[in-house]
Amino acid sequence: MLKVKSDNQVKQGPFELKGKDFIKMADFEPNDIFFLLDQALEMKNLQKKGIPHPYLSGKVLGMIFEKSSTRTRVSFEVGMLQLGGQAIFLSSNDIQLGRGESIEDTAKVLSRYVDGLMVRTFAHDSIEQFAQAADIPVINGLTDLHHPTQVLADLLTIYEHKGTLTGLKMCYIGDGNNNMCHSLLEGAASVGMHLSVASPNGYEPNLSIMGKAKQIGKSTGSNVIYTESPEEAIKQADIVVTDVWTSMGQEEEQKRRFDAFESYQVNADLCSHAKQDFIFLHCLPAHRGEEVTAEIIDGPHSVVFDEAENRLHAQKAILKSLMKY
């Protein structure tokens, strides 16, 4: 099995992750993240070879969705099936949570039925409440503040295309006060990757999360910076990342956001400042002609569909590591 780690890092065993929640990247030590990436590579290798890997036979994952989803739902559901278990889709409108039952009561009841819980919701406080009340592992499928499962897949994709993580430069262009940016800050810092964030004034990353990433970076050699200049951020970047300018729940702000981010579009002119062999990532769905041009997202530098595929393998690594033992 390939090892996504440097020689001076000690591989952690699975029991360190048993029963843990997966709420944000900063909850995990760098070694834990490298371990999960190793597991994701193993899951991918087994699937490509057609080797059954029913590590979670008899296990059931409950999936609560307050936000709509394509990749999160399908990757978790297919992942559980390939691991020999099952997944139950629970729309918040179809369970009592949507009629006023408390998060705490819902979490305690579901803990008696299922072996793990994945929640995709708006307020980050909600998933923190789920995790505190539940007696089973709780996985963050996305909140307005963090998107850690996506970032684990992003790191896997970068490793596959670059052969390493430590020392690479990633830039994130667009809305810095964004769940993808926040989880990228924590994830990149944990693996020793440098990250430059470029966003307009008023759309900076959460100061607490930025501070935590810098703190992590002191021990891993990661340099984390913020700038209002996309040209400065992207200079000599190995990886270029962006996300939509208007996320779910922000539709009323669309016109104001378009005006603010107009000069932050990822296009050929901007990408000319990156390294010649840069790769482009986007968590999808994408709005071509807005945050990124078709020339970039559909061009030779784009790895967005490898990135989307790797959601499956990353989810399986998380599920196996948290729920198997």
181 is in an annotated binding site: no
Which one from 39, 171, 283, 315 is the annotated catalytic residue? Answer: 283
Q: Is 147 labeled as ligand-binding? A: yes
121 known ligand binder: no
Q: Determine if residue 96 is labeled as part of a ligand binding site.
A: yes
Of 1, 34, 48, residue with least CA distance to 164: 34
Find the catalytic residue in 9, 39, 82, 150: 150
Known catalytic membership, residue 243: yes
Specify whether 21 is catalytic.
Answer: no
Q: Is 311 annotated as a binding residue?
A: yes
Is 73 marked as binding a ligand?
Answer: no
Is 215 assigned a ligand-binding role in the annotation? Answer: no
User: Which residues lie across from 63 on neighbouring strands?
Assistant: 89, 118
Among residues 124, 182, 301, 311, the one annotated as catalytic is 311
Q: Is 179 annotated as a binding residue?
A: yes
Taking the C-alpha atoms of residue 278 and residue 197, their distance in angstroms, rounded to an integer, is 16
Residue of 124, 146, 147, 313 marked active site: 147
Q: Is 148 marked as binding a ligand? A: yes
311 is catalytic: yes
Strand order in the sheet with 116-120: 86-91, 60-65, 116-120, 138-142
**Catalytically annotated residue among 21, 144, 154, 243:** 243
The answer to whether 69 is a known ligand-binding residue is yes
Q: How far apart are CA 29 and CA 202, in angstroms?
A: 31
Active site residue 120: yes
Q: How many CB atoms lie within 10 A of CB 162?
A: 16
Neighbours of 216 (CB within 10 A): 23
Q: Is 70 annotated as a binding residue?
A: yes
HSE (side-chain half, CA atoms, 13 Å) at 119: 29
Whether 156 and 40 have beta carbons less than 8 Å apart is answered as: yes
Residue 321 in tokens: 């590591």
Q: In angstroms, what CA-CA distances link 117 with 57, 86, 99, 130, 146?
A: 16, 12, 20, 9, 17
149 annotated as ligand-binding = yes
Query: Taking CA 148 as the corner, what is the angle to CA 142 and CA 154, rounded to the nearest 5 degrees?
Result: 115
Q: What is the dihedral of CA 37, 42, 45, 46, to 10 degrees?
A: -140
- Annotated binding site for carbamoyl phosphate: which residue ranges? 69-72, 96, 120, 147-150, 283-284, 311
Binding positions are: 69-72, 96, 120, 147-150, 179, 243, 247-248, 283-284, 311
Binding-site sequence positions for L-ornithine: 179, 243, 247-248
Positions marked catalytic = 120, 147, 150, 243, 283, 311
